[in-house]
Amino acid sequence: MHEPFPSSSPPIVELRRVTRRFGNKTALDDLSLSVPRGGVFGLIGGNGAGKTTLIKHTLGLLKAQTGTVQVFGLDPVQNPVGTLGRIGYLSEDRDLPNWMRVGELMRYTQAFFPSWDEAYARELREAFDLDANARVKDLSRGQRARAGLLVALAHRPELLILDEPSSGLDPVVRRDILGAIIRTIADEGRTVLFSSHLLDEVERVADRVAIIHQGRILLTAAMDEIKDTHRRVTLRFAQSVDRPPALVGTLSLAGEGSEWTYVCSGERGQLRRAAEAIGATVVDDAAMTLDEIFVSRVHA
Amino acid sequence: MTPGRRFFSLAGERVQLHLSTDDGVPIYLQIVTQVKYLVASGRLSAGEELPPIRTLAERLLVNPNTVARAYRELEIAGIVEKRRTAGTYVSDQGSPLARRERIKILTQRVDALLAEAGQLDIAWEDVVKLIDERHAAMQTTRQKE
């Protein structure tokens, strides 16, 4: 749990220069990403940013048109047995077989995974209050997500991949999902990769974050580092200025007259010294939420 | 309960931590500050055991590394100590540090009060008078109880 990032062991997921087009739309644009072993990796981006396409490449559901994808050091398209058996996956649309009963879904999924833990599966079913005889198609949105989570978790995968797990769910089910993420990584060495647009959840549970925008990775770093190196600084200049000088790492700038607010990437002391150097006084200096950092990066 | 704000108990149901992702303060720092506050105000006392990292992480729904970092910072600050039996306990730190922490917390509140008084254009003398008045009023209320 105290292993420093980036972890010294080889990455669990590695995409190198992957490009993927659908017709004339570029979904992934020369994208490289490395997910270290252990911990929670949060993939954040807006709708259509490429999150789901990226995840489908790690599962071998899509083949890289250019570039390479490796999961556990293996190509998931060429070696689905060696990769998929070690991954638990909850898709965004929770595409479960509608005609099955919950009990049947569990037995059916069990057949694919030698490491399926029957006692754990039963425990999850009870904790999630799922009726073994209920038909998948009759489940509520929340219960359907829980059923999907159950079959993703019960073989105790080395890598748990969740695509927008909280999307459209009530807070109680979201708590179950966050709890499952935390329990999964608290067991030594396991990894969670999840995509989300609910950035307060990502801020709570992720060790590491990548921001994806228009098929490219804009930023990837440890959560602590991202929080430490983004600040909103308000400067007061001696005189009114039309266009204030840029600070190093300025992502956005707003204000008028002698008071201007900068969103900057940089360490706190460094920003203060830079402000002094351009003859300004720091009148406010605030930490930013992940949500604000995301917006400033995407619109920079 | 506003979104993003939740309350969770730390030691039994008695004391609670309140985490928020609304104002940008790192979560580990919120845990550190609140435990310091709870110790300084005497609501957590010396020798009390804090929950194991994993337990608190699951209760607060935050990354276990975040709780581990908070515990490390609290240990460095001398607020808690690890014992050989692997638990984390509120340390027996004596009153001087506790008083310093209490003053520090109060200083922040006083600064906020003075800033607000300035914005509302209330003179310093009037703020002092108001504090005196409120103190007197509270004393009267207490005597009645």
CB A193 within 8 A of CB A71: no
SS3 call for A12: coil
Task: Compute the average pLDDT of residues A59-79.
Answer: 95
**Paired strand residues for A162:** A90, A194
For every residue of B52-68, which 3-state class applies, written as one string?
CHHHHHHHHCCCHHHHH
CB A261 within 8 A of CB A254: yes
Indicate the pLDDT class of residue A3, thresholds 50, 70 and 90: very low
Tell if the CB–CB gap between B26 and A40 is shorter than 8 Å: no
Residues in chain A whose Cβ is within 8 Å of chain B: 1-2, 39-40, 175, 178-179, 182-183, 185-186, 199-200, 203-207, 223-224, 227-228, 286-292
A200 to chain B: which residues are within 8 Å by CB? 3-4, 21-22
Closest CA to B129 of B145, B116, B117: B117
Q: How far is A204 from chain B (nearest CA, A)?
A: 5
User: Quick one: closest CA in A to B30, which residue?
Assistant: A204
Task: Compute the average pLDDT of residues A252-259.
Answer: 88
- Crossing angle, helix B27-40 and helix B95-119, to 10 degrees? 110
Residues in chain B whose Cβ is within 8 Å of chain A: 3-4, 19, 21-28, 53-54, 57-58, 61-65, 68-69
A204 to chain B: which residues are within 8 Å by CB? 19, 21, 27, 61-63
Query: What pLDDT score was predicted for residue B14?
Result: 61
CB B23 within 8 A of CB A224: no
Q: Which of B5, B6, B21 would best serve as a mutation to test chain A binding (most A beta carbons within 10 A)?
A: B21
Helices marked H in A28-166: 51-58, 80-84, 102-110, 118-127, 141-153
A7 to chain B: which residues are within 8 Å by CB? none
CB A186 within 8 A of CB A2: no
CB A213 within 8 A of CB A46: yes
- Give the tens place of pLDDT for each residue, A152-190: 999 999 999 999 998 889 888 999 899 989 988 887 779
- Give the tens place of pLDDT for each residue, A210-225: 999 999 999 999 999 9
pTM over 0.80: yes
- Structure-token pair, residue A87: 């991954």
User: Which among A183, A228, A291 is the nearest to B58, CB-wise?
Assistant: A183
Q: Is B128 exposed, middle or buried (0-12, 13-18, 19+ CB in 10 A)?
A: exposed
Q: Is A275 exposed, middle or buried (0-12, 13-18, 19+ CB in 10 A)?
A: buried
- Crossing angle, helix B53-60 and helix B64-76, to 10 degrees? 120
Tell if the CB–CB gap between A292 and B63 is shorter than 8 Å: no
Tell if the CB–CB gap between A186 and B27 is shorter than 8 Å: no
User: Quick one: closest CA in A to B59, which residue?
Assistant: A179
Amino acid type, B106: L
User: Quick one: closest CA in B to A226, which residue?
Assistant: B26
User: Quick one: closest CA in A to B53, which residue?
Assistant: A186
ipTM above threshold 0.95: no
pLDDT over 70 (residue B145):
no
Cα gap A78→A44, rounded to integer Å? 28
Closest CA to A198 of A221, A181, A185, A215: A181
Query: What pLDDT score was predicted for residue B7?
Result: 41
Query: What pLDDT score was predicted for residue A206?
Result: 95
- Give the tens place of pLDDT for each residue, B65-89: 999 999 999 999 888 988 876 788 8
Chain A, chain B: beta-carbon pairs less than 8 Å apart: 65
A74 versus B37: the higher-pLDDT residue is: A74
Residue linked to tokens 């707003």 = A254
Query: What pLDDT score was predicted for residue A1?
Result: 44
Tell if the CB–CB gap between A182 and B53 is shorter than 8 Å: no
Q: Is A103 exposed, middle or buried (0-12, 13-18, 19+ CB in 10 A)?
A: middle
Tell if the CB–CB gap between A40 and B63 is shorter than 8 Å: yes
CB A79 within 8 A of CB A58: no
User: Which among B27, B53, B61 is the nearest to A179, CB-wise?
Assistant: B61
Tell if the CB–CB gap between A1 and B22 is shorter than 8 Å: no
SS3 call for A118: helix
A288 to chain B: which residues are within 8 Å by CB? 24
Task: Report the range of poorest mean pLDDT among A138-142, A218-222, A276-280.
Answer: A276-280
pLDDT over 90 (residue A67):
yes
User: Which among A179, A224, A289 is the nearest to B24, CB-wise?
Assistant: A289
Tell if the CB–CB gap between B68 and A290 is shorter than 8 Å: no
